[in-house]
Chains A and B, each alone.
Chain A
Amino acid sequence: MVFRRAVERAIGLLRRNLQARAVVTTIALSLIATVILGGFLSFGIGNGLYQTRVQQVLSESERAVIEVQNTFSASSASDEVALQSLINSVVPKLENDSADQPRLVAMLRTPGQNSSQLLQSPISTDLDLNIISANMRTKVQASTGKVIYQSVSIAAQTEVHPGLVVGAPIEIPLAGMYELYLVYDLNHEQQTLDLVQGTLVIGGLVLLVIIGLVSWWVTSRIVQPVRLAARVSEKIAEGALDERIPAEGEDVIAQLAHSFNAMADNLQNQLKQYEQISKMQQRFVSDVSHELRTPLTTIKLAGELIYDNRENFVPPLKKSAEAMNSQIQRFETLLEDLLEISRYDAGAVAGQFEVVNLMSVVKSAIQSIEPLATKKGCEIVLETPSDNIEAEIDSRRIERLIRNLLANAVEHGEAKPIIVAVGAGAHAVAVSVTDHGVGMTRSQLDRVFDRFWRADPARKRTTGGTGLGLAISLEDANLHSGWLQVSAKPNEGSTFRLTLPRKVGSVFSQSPLPLPPKKKVEDETR
């Protein structure tokens, strides 16, 4: 578990840290190269040492064999005792005849002979005859004077040394065929090879450390400016538009810095321009507002005067006064809505977020629409899990939004009950407004949030909507990073569902209320 976590952390570090990745990659590749090179060197040296020694051993052995053979051939010994003493004087002497190292000697009688002469075979005391394999002996017996060799392992005290066994047949007059074996210990060569290999390994490790340090140094020289660029761009992203990368020299890193700084300059200028445009737009909106409001004030005051006295007029004049009065109100709302939407377009809207009880906002919206609903014969039913649902919202905008949804529901609800459902989840709150009126078709649904769009242009508007209500509502929902969604079926009604985060900036993925709403089972007694 601990090990696995350490590995995961290391992998995480490599994924995040460009420099660590570069250094680790360099070291890993260097390690492979060093191992290949070291293996090659070690093999070459070992092989060279072995071949030289083998040549030396063979020539020494040949000389010894010839010497022994000559001694026996030239001997005049005619009886068993004389032969035995000759063997005893010649063979053990071979032990110390070698050039630098002592060798072990064995003189064995070739089995399967009928000769009666039986001589004692001289064998070096340290020699274990098992290292002379049967295979080796067969080869030696078949040999015609040539020396045969085989590499073997020699047990020497606690360790095992590499060695060579060299053998040749010897013919002793009167006694028959014998085999002379010389055993050479190659420990000296092995030690040399060990030393060379040890040096190679240490050298390789030192080389790897040096390569690691060098690559770390080199990459840090390259990564440092990149890291600086990353830090600066992060700061710019956070809004510190004045941040720049210091650019020195003329290399590719300096080029990066220059072009990065140029990009930041452009960005800053663009933003300044947008800010200016936005300010001009706001200024314009403010001016238009003022210029339109002044004459509208007179019109409204005068219109009210006329309207208040409509009972004194002849019927056509009275009708005109009523029409004028309602249109003045509509004009006023239209002006408000236009200004509001242009403020959104100019990006000049900042929400006033406060933790409030959503229920009081919903109730207040219902209360304000109730007179209109009563006039149209609509009942508004409120369904809520709790009377206290806290959320951080711009309560004025949300109240306006809900009021707007309610006004639409009343207008299109055909005097059937309107259901207002409130839901609360851990991260989101939701309000849905459902009417059971005319509903909408698929293609109407797609356009319902468009500005000045009307589901049915021929349909009389009775509640004096401006055609901007839902567009503003959608902007209000967006201001909260919330959703305003709609679901509808022709002749069955429509549901608008507003989902808002509980806190400013909190993320939600699901609305606490279903859309379309669950169908109420009318007859629950069954």
Chain B
Amino acid sequence: MRWKILVVEDDRSILETVQYALELKGHEVVACESGDLAMDVFRESKPDLVILDWMLPGKDGIEILKEIVAISSVPVVMATARTDDEELGLAFELGAADYMKKPYGAAELVQRATRLMKPLERADSDNVQIGPISIDVSAYEVSRGGAKISLTPLEFNLLLTIAEDPKHTFTREELLKKVWLHKNLGDETDFKGKVDTRLVNVHIQRLRSKIEENPDDPQIVTTVRGRGYKAGAF
């Protein structure tokens, strides 16, 4: 699968190597060196995925993230060398799909991006039911009582993962490993724990707002206090 990836990065050598690496893996890269130009490039190029550096001269990553999320559902991965929990948490609340901590490798980047770009592949199950929601895995469709619900690949993967094992309570760490493909979380020591789980919380909330009748009283994806998330009992 060939994707068009927009990379916004002010460090030219990083930008160039990311571009070589992604192009060698068969993807098309649109490079942008300046935060101020990023939105124009985004509108013009219509990418499938955005890799956005946090600290940019001029308009910074957070500003660009806000503007992209406001006009499109293209997943945005924040690339960061920062260690500030609060600001990262803010990025997730604003709708970043994931983050990559510098230094990142191209292989990891592509692997993680895959999860944001396309649904999980399942050989054994084709149609999964979770309460009133039915998931057609091969067609990549989710519907409730015949009405189709449009989910991002990330939300789709999140729902499918929970629906496939309805008796299991997924901790946030488990979901990060299974859905976001984060490595061993102990390694991500720059982020003192809060941020990762906030990433999960935010996307669970987004998923609920699309599939639940009343997102404030979730029935399909329920919260297990102090543990994580679980499919509702039907």
Contact = CB atoms under 8 A, between A and B. Distances in A.
B186 A332 contact: no
A286 interface: yes
Interface in B178-218: 184-187, 189-190, 192-194
Interface stretch (A134-142, A397-405, A421-429, A441-449): A397-405
B102 A297 contact: yes
A335 to B, nearest CB: 9
Contact of A293 (B24, B81, B173, B193): B81
A352 interface: yes
Given A286-B84, A399-B184, A340 B189 contact: yes
A163 to B, nearest CB: 94
Interface string B99-121: 00111111100000000000000
B185 A302 contact: no
Nearest to B196: A396
Given A297-B104, A301-B14, A352-B194, A396 B21 contact: no
Contacts of B18: 301
Contacts of A304: 21, 105-107
A272 B17 CA distance: 45
Interface of A, helix, strand, loop or mixed by DSSP: helix
B224 to A, nearest CB: 11
Contacts of A403: 184, 186
Given A302-B17, A339-B190, A396-B173, A355 B103 contact: no
Interface size class of B (residues with CB under 8 A): 20 to 34
Contacts of A298: 11, 13-14, 17
A280 interface: no
B161 interface: no
A489 interface: no
A222 interface: no
A296 B186 contact: no
Contacts, number: 96
A304 B189 CA distance: 23
Nearest to B10: A294
Given A289-B81, A294-B14, A395 B102 contact: no
Contacts of A308: 24, 107
B129 interface: no
Contacts of A368: 184
Nearest to A282: B83
A350 interface: yes
Given A339-B190, A400-B184, A403-B184, A286 B82 contact: yes
Contacts of B106: 301, 304-305
Nearest to B79: A297
Nearest to B184: A368
* A contact residues, range: 35 or more
A286 B87 CA distance: 13
Contact of A400 (B81, B187, B226): B187
Contacts of B193: 352, 394, 396
Contacts of A286: 82-84
Contacts of B140: none
A152 interface: no
Contacts of B11: 294, 297-298
Contact of B185 (A297, A300, A350, A399): A399
A356 interface: yes
A155 interface: no
B82 A296 contact: no
B186 A396 contact: yes
Nearest to A286: B83
A400 B186 contact: yes
A290 interface: yes
Nearest to A360: B171
A517 B24 CA distance: 53
Nearest to B225: A355
A304 to B, nearest CB: 5
Nearest to B197: A352
A394 B189 CA distance: 12
A486 B24 CA distance: 49
A425 B192 CA distance: 29
Interface in A293-321: 293-302, 304-305, 308
A289 B17 contact: no
B20 interface: yes
Most buried by B among A286, A298, A302: A298
A355 B102 CA distance: 31
B64 to A, nearest CB: 19
B112 to A, nearest CB: 14
Nearest to A398: B186
Nearest to A290: B81
5 contacts: A300-B104, A305-B24, A336-B187, A339-B83, A340-B189
Interface of B: 11, 13-14, 17-18, 20-21, 24, 55, 81-84, 101-107, 171, 173, 184-187, 189-190, 192-194, 226-227
Q: Which 7 residue pairs spanning A and B have beta carbons closest together?
A: A400-B186, A352-B193, A301-B17, A293-B81, A297-B103, A293-B102, A296-B103
Given A297-B103, A298-B11, A299-B103, 6 more contacts: A293-B101, A294-B81, A336-B190, A339-B83, A360-B171, A395-B171
